Amino acid sequence: MEGSTKLDHQEEMFALVAQWGNSGLSQKAFATQHNLSVSKFGYWVRKYRSHQGPPSEGFISLQPVLACSMFEIHYPNGVVLKTPTGLTFSDLSSLIKLG
C-alpha cells in the first residue's frame, strides 16, 4: 500500500507540473498559487523532465511576432526571450545556450 501512495503522489505532482507547463506562469508564481514551496516544486519539475527522456523537437517554441519583426523563444522554465528576426544563427545559438 505504501508504494501506491508514493505513485499516487508522483502522478499528482506530475499532473501539476504539466499544468504549470501550459500555464505561462513562472515556477515561483505557480508554486505559490498551489501552496507549494518553490524548491519542492522545482524538484518535481526536474523529476518530471527526467522521466520524459531527452528533449524532443518541441523543447522550445519559436513564435513570430509579425507586427514588430520579432520572434519569441519560450523556454520550458517559463522564460521568454524576445529578439529581432535579423539575428545571425551564431547570435541566436548563443542566446539559446544562455537560456
pLDDT in tens, 38-97: 899 889 888 888 887 655 555 555 555 555 566 677 777 777 777 776 767 777 777 666
pLDDT above 60: residue 99 = no
Query: Global pTM?
Result: 0.50
CA angle 95, 97, 99 (to 5 degrees): 75
Residue type, 52: Q
pLDDT-derived band at 1 (thresholds 50, 70, 90) equals: very low
**CA dihedral of 17, 21, 22, 28, whole degrees rounded to 10:** 80
pLDDT-derived band at 33 (thresholds 50, 70, 90) equals: very high
